Structure 1
Amino acid sequence: MAAPAHRRSLRKRRTLVVSAAVVAAGVGAGALVLNANAGTVDLYHETLAAKDGWASSGTGTTGGKKADAAHTFTVSTRAQLVKALGSASDTTPRIIKVKGTIDANTNDAGKKLTCADYASGTGYSLTSYLKAYDPSTYGRSKLPSGSQETARAAAQKKQAANIVFKVPANTSIVGVPGTKAGLTGAMLQIQNVDNVIVRNLAFSATEDCFPQWDPTDGDDGNWNSNYDSVTLRGATHVWADHNTFTDTPHLDSANPKYYGREYQIHDGALDITKSSDLVTVSRNQFTNHDKTTLIGSSDSEPAGKLRVSIHHNIYKGITQRAPLSRVGQVHIYNNYYDVTPLNGYAVQYSINSRAKAQVVAENNYWKVPSSVKVAKLLSGDGTGAIKGGGNLVNGTVTDLVAAYNAASSKDLKTTVNWTPTLTAGLESSAKNLPTSLATSTGAAVLK
């Protein structure tokens, strides 16, 4: 019996050049290309295939493929990960193999750290903070300032020093198969660097111990947190593939309310901001999360960047931003969206196009319960565009933009200024995605 289409596609993508060590052993000086059928695939040296989304543009994305033995690491603790990453300014190619789950909220000796540990010595307490900035006395016209806000910022800075991992250029960070590889409580920060690969990792419980109250955010104010599981800021040529993102075990439904607003400790899952460019997000699973992927952090970001491809991902139990796109050229294809309410996460929208974003969304599949209107699957500000076809809702081809525009006062535009060409693996039909992506996405799939 022939292999399913998604497995054949995966095998076609998974080629590699044998490492220098193999060549030295006598294989020969020329590059030897292997297929997954020919033996064990070296995930750590694997690179993004040609024409596989925006990250394949130009020089492509190779990560740490050229790493020598001195810059190839296997890590299983926070301290080992910090050492392996080295300086964010060091561009030497490196491969980091993550074995097992690394808890970012630990010290160098492996001792578990809590929010109280980060607050210690800063003078911060939530009780004092709530008293100081109660809208009934402090008002709603300005951001918090004074001793408790200063203390909160200091405590947040202590947490950031422990859980934010800065990734240098030319790096591959890959989970070791069969070890439940991942990071919990962490933020991978890919900032102002080029050529990074993040694969086969489970990201969970990225939580801010010290959200800031902003009484000017919206009509009623909001609590805003500070950490994404993976954040791209001014980064280029990044491939995020076969990862899993979740809030588990602390879900938003467990968050208390203060000043009548949810005390939100989660921010983004995978955010792409600050004019990041040439990014491919493929075969990941996003589940149990609110603000999932932000492309562009401001409506005023300059044009010409934020070119992102998002394909063959699963979104389940996601509230919004899958993705929210600003300014750039974004291709969203062959993804599966299950918008059935899950663990208190109910969809506000899946795809948002604003600030003149040019989005092509094609051949995606939405599973939509009767309680959710099709018009809620998209969103926009009246300046963004979404073009595309072949999108299915419960198996039926549906014009999502027409449904949204019929119910909205700010229509999405239906024409874009570009045509996707980097489309290796694009499937012309979305009908099999619920089945095929269930077994080909997320961490722990790659062997």
Structure 2
Amino acid sequence: MKTTLLAVSLMLASTAQAAPLDASTFVGASTPLQTALYGVRNYSAPVLVNGKHDPASYMAAPKLPAWQFARVDPTGGVLTFERQSAPATGWHTWSRKGKVVVTGGGAARSDRVYTVFNGQQLVAAIKEAGNEPKIIRVVGHIDLRWSQNNTVFKEYTSYADQKYGGSINLPSNTTLVGINDAQGRPARMTGTALLIGGELALAPGGDPEADFKKWIKDGKDGEDYPTWTRNIIVRNLVIDTPWDVNPEDAGNAYADGITVSRGQNIFLDHLSVSDGDTPESLATGTYKTRHDGALDVVRGSDYVTIANSYFANHHKTTLVGNGDGGRAWSDEGRLHVTFSGNWWSSVAARLPLNRYGQVHMSNNLITGNVMTKETDVKFESGTDARYRSNMLVENSYYNITGLKLSEFCGKAIKGKGFIGFRSSGHIFTSDRAGTNAVDGQCGMARPDAANLWTPPYLYALQTASSTLLAVPAQAGAGKLK
């Protein structure tokens, strides 16, 4: 691999730095209340909620997967990669308090290492350990619609039932990993939203925005605001984005596959995220939007890395920042996110869409098709730099069937309203355009000094041509053993 001059200079400078902080040491009171709300079904009937979630929109998932339930841990409980800290490259290694080591639950005591085979066991492990370091190993297939040791299935009955009963919320100091089963299949989550953190008030019934603004006005450090969720590692899982049984309206669903909300120092690695067995094309009638994001990083979250992951068959795929001017109070100066070694394949848009974020992308692979009539997988747009975002995009490989070279700018890379954008080293290929190296600037470069930045962590770039082979070999679940 080619090491950048930047990486070399940082390597030399790093020898003078103090030892990195363990991310678990500055967690604070990270709101155990968040976990109490989730993973418990209420089986409520559909009702309007603030004028949304029309009961007439209710539709159960039209297709269920071939389940891969397990009852036996093929490793016999022997740990391999579970105690590993996150690697030392990516925005997750940084904070306003200095360089950090994201350990997740690596320091877990033996009685805080759990192997779970169903959703209820997963919820119980989280509640028992709270914010203590914990390792949760998933074997088989998790779906919160199943209960009684995966013997009783009941579909979500309403928006409220799915929002709370169909979500898992990870507290601070957690490592959640999938363990390949006896057939070599990676662990899988279906019908279940994975939440990391939440934007909460200081006390039940309070206002998150008003409380945070008062905290800052009183001269307190925003990093000490006591509802952060920090120090999370999630690896080696297949995640099927949930089918929304009772969406907000005709154009908006609610549940994401993974949502990072007011989370910090988060490492997400070797994940496979898609719509699974329920593509949007199975929806009928007026309410045809049944999925929201595949993976969203929102609401003031910071220092997050998404690496070696595979995103497929989804529309609104990866989002950084979920609003424009109304989110400045939480998002301005935050949303530092790294995307490295990922593969977006047969997805429609948001690769990623970025508001406010200082996002570094390197050595990613993007494949798609603008000609297909299958709306679930038709490529609409790629990297999308939006409101007050600042992006560095390096050495990625694009192969978009049906896209002319002249259409690359404005389709595969586009933006408006950003404050900084630099892009270079890509290769663009198409059945219509042949193979072409492009500079990736697309007329969007903003090199003004006020918004220039370089990643503070060490990293090594591969060429875009190397990415074409290296990324499929590594990206996605099942690759860690």
What does residue 70 of structure 1 align with?
111
2:436 counterpart of 1:396: yes
Partners of 1:304 and 1:388 lie apart in 2 by: 21
d(CA) in 1 for partners of 2:126, 2:148: 15
Tell me the distance in 2 between the aligned counterparts of 1:180 and 1:272. 24
Check the 8 A contact 1:280/1:308 in 2, yes or no.
yes
Distance 2:414 2:79 in 1: 41
- 1:41 to 1:365, Cα distance in 2 relative to 1, 3 A: farther
1:366 aligns with 2:395: no
State the distance in 2 between where 1:317 and 1:423 align: 31
Q: Are 2:139 and 1:99 aligned?
A: yes
Is 1:431 aligned with 2:465?
A: yes
Shift of 1:421: 3.3
Shift of 1:205: 4.0
Structure 1 pair 257/387, CA: closer, same or farther in 2 (3 Å)?
Answer: farther
Letter in 2 for 1:441: A
How far, CA to CA, are the matches of 2:244 and 2:174 in structure 1?
26
Give per-residue Cα distances to partners, 1:126-151, cap 9 Å, x unaligned.
Answer: xxxxxxxxxxxxxxxxxxxxxxxxxx
1:320 aligned to 2:356?
Answer: no
Displacement of 1:225 after TM fit? 0.9
Deviations 1:292-333 (A, max 9, x none): 111111113332110000000000011111111111210011
Cα shift at 1:426: 2.7
Selected match of 1:161 from 153, 164, 170: 164
User: C-alpha displacement at 1:412, in angstroms?
Assistant: 6.5
**Paired amino acid for 2:196:** I
Are residues 1:418 and 2:453 paired? yes
Q: Distance in 1 between matches of 2:117 and 2:79?
A: 22
**1-structure distance, mates of 2:453, 2:387:** 16
Cα distance in 2 between the residues matched to 1:78 and 1:325: 32
Query: Aligned to 1:418, what secondary structure does the other structure show?
Result: coil
Match of 2:124 in 1: 83
Equivalent position of 1:442 in the other structure = 476
Equivalent residue letter for 2:111: A
Task: Tell whether 2:247 aligns with 1:211.
Answer: yes
Letter of the aligned partner of 2:362 in structure 1?
A: Y
Secondary structure at the counterpart of residue 313 of structure 2: strand
**Residue matched to 1:353:** 385
Q: Deviations over 1:101-148 (max 9, x none)?
A: 112222345311224xx1xxxxxxxxxxxxxxxxxxxxxxxxxxxxxx
Q: Secondary structure at the match of 1:318?
A: coil
Q: Is the 8 A contact 1:74 1:99 kept in 2?
A: yes
What does 1:131-210 correspond to in 2, within 5 Å? 155-177=158-180, 178-191=184-197, 192-210=228-246
2:87: which partner in 1?
49
Give the structure-1-normalised TM-score.
0.74
How far apart, in 1, do the equivalents of 2:187 and 2:310 lie?
A: 15
Letter in 2 for 1:247: D
- Using the TM superposition, give the Cα deviation of residue 66 of structure 1 relative to its aligned residue in structure 2, in angstroms: 0.4
1:400 CA displacement: 3.0
Aligned partner letter, 1:432: S
Tell me how far 1:369 sits from its aligned partner. 1.9
Distance (Å, rounded) in 2 between the aligned partners of 1:236 and 1:84: 22
For the structure 1 residues 189 and 238, does the alpha-carbon distance in structure 2 shift closer, same or farther, using more than 3 Å as the test? same
* Structure 1 residue 41 displacement after superposition: 7.9
Letter in 2 for 1:174: V
Distance in 1 between the 2:160 and 2:436 partners? 49
- Partners of 1:94 and 1:263 lie apart in 2 by 39
Q: State whether residues 241 and 294 of structure 2, in contact with CA within 8 Å, keep that contact through their aligned partners in structure 1.
A: no
For residues 158 and 443 of structure 1, the distance between their equivalents in structure 2, rounded to whole angstroms, comes to 29
Name 2:336's counterpart in structure 1: 307
The answer as to whether partners of 1:381 and 1:412 remain within 8 angstroms in 2 is no
Quick one: which amino acid aligns to residue 147 of structure 2? N
Distance between the aligned counterparts of 1:314 and 1:371, measured in 2? 18
Taking a change above 3 Å as real, the CA distance of residues 266 and 414 of structure 1, as seen in their structure-2 partners, is: farther
2:284 maps to which of 251, 256, 261: 256
Q: CA deviation digits over 1:392-445, x for unaligned, max 9? A: 10253213332xx4xxxxx66455431123242432x11021222111110001
1:228 aligned to which of 234, 245, 256: 256
Equivalent pair of 2:343/2:475 in contact (CA under 8 Å): yes
| SS, match of residue 422 in structure 1 | coil
Q: What is the rounded CA distance, in whole Å, between the counterparts of 1:100 and 1:361 in structure 2?
A: 36
Q: Kindly tell me the number of residue pairs found equivalent between the two proteins.
A: 351
Q: State the Cα distance separating 1:238 from its structure 2 match.
A: 0.4
Matched residue, 2:361? 332
Which residue matches 2:313? 288
Q: Give every structure 1 segment of 4 or more consecutive aligned residues whose post-TM-superposition deviation is greater than 6 Å.
A: none
Offset of 1:254 from its aligned partner? 2.2
**Structure 2 length as normaliser, TM-score?**
0.69
Structure 2: stretches of 5+ with no match in the other structure: 3-77, 198-227, 430-434
Q: Cα distance, 1:263 vs. partner?
A: 1.4
* Backbone CA RMSD of aligned residues: 2.1
What is residue 43 of structure 2 aligned with on the other side? none
Q: Distance in 1 between matches of 2:185 and 2:401?
A: 36
> Against the structure 1 CA distance between its residues 423 and 318, is the aligned structure 2 distance closer, same or farther, given a 3 Å change threshold?
farther
Asked if structure 2 preserves the Cα contact closer than 8 Å seen for 1:327 and 1:356, the reply is yes
**Contact 2:236-2:480 at 8 Å conserved across structures:** yes
Cα distance in structure 1, aligned partners of 2:297 and 2:148: 30
Give the conservation status (yes or no) of the 8 Å contact 2:423–2:445.
no
Indicate conservation of the 8 Å contact 1:107/1:162, yes or no. Answer: no
Q: 1:243 matched to which residue of 2?
A: 271
Unaligned runs of 5+ in 1: 6-39, 119-154, 214-221, 406-410
Contact in 1 for aligned 2:120/2:144 (Cα 8 Å): no
| CA distance in 1 between partners of 2:298 and 2:148 (Å) | 30
Deviation at 1:384, TM superposition (A): 4.3
Shift in Å, 1:255: 2.2
For residues 170-219 of structure 1, the C-alpha deviation after alignment (integer angstroms, 9 at most, x for no partner) is 00000113343021111111113000000000001412100122xxxxxx
Contact 1:283-1:313 at 8 Å conserved across structures = yes
